[in-house]
Amino acid sequence: MQGIRASRVVSGLGLILACGGLGACNTSGPTVTGSIPGRKPAMMVSEAERDCLGRAMYFESNRTDSEGLLAVGTVVMNRLEAAAFPGGICEVVGQPRQFAPGVLTKPMRDKDLPKVADVADAVLAGERHPKVGSAMYFHTAGRRFPYNNMHYVAVAGGNAFYEKRKPGAPVPTTFAAAPAKGEHIPDAPARDICTVAALGSGARQG
């Protein structure tokens, strides 16, 4: 992303604000979670787009795990930069069958919002999960799928993150680091989040 990007908001966002969001959780400065070898440029967005980012992180990750929240936030921002995905943050998160059902409308628990808001603000300030890198896909950790063009790069917050690469393609240096202690990156192929989302939210938190 280059500089500051103008915010764009999908229709129907009044529902988001009516269902509870991050608006009451403004922080004086983004909380740094520690996973920052480098940063992206900071991004100024509307309160609605900040809420959309937080909602994707909240409903797609174990919300008690800052690293998992950061990993999902990284995927959202990666998609925002990609030509294959539409417009602003809310359009990326609201794209049909890409994220958890009801991601833009379901209520969030008040007690979880401060942590989600802190990590969302860190993402908007330029923080990214270093092992997720430029990956734009993930699925519930522990599942296995018969595809050979999807390569795992990280496991965080109950999700396995992967990028799509042709078999035999060189591994980018971003993903060459060894897994953290206790982290298991599965060696089986993965599946697109679009297909996983279609199965419903039974395997996810929230």
- Give me the domains of the chain, ranges plus CATH numbers: 15-21+45-124 (1.10.10.2520), 137-198 (no CATH)
* Beta partners for residue 193, in sequence order: none
pTM: 0.69
pLDDT digits (tens, 9 = 90+) for 71-88: 999 999 999 999 788 789
Range picked from 116-120, 175-179, 197-201 for highest mean pLDDT: 116-120
pLDDT for 9 beyond 80: no
pLDDT digits (tens, 9 = 90+) for 12-52: 333 444 446 776 565 444 443 444 445 788 999 999 999 99
pLDDT at 148: 87
Other beta carbons within 10 Å of 114: 14
pLDDT digits (tens, 9 = 90+) for 131-149: 999 999 999 999 988 888 8
Taking the CA atoms of 99, 79, 192 and 138 in sequence, report the sign of the dihedral they define.
Answer: negative
Contact between 71 and 158 (Cβ < 8 Å): no
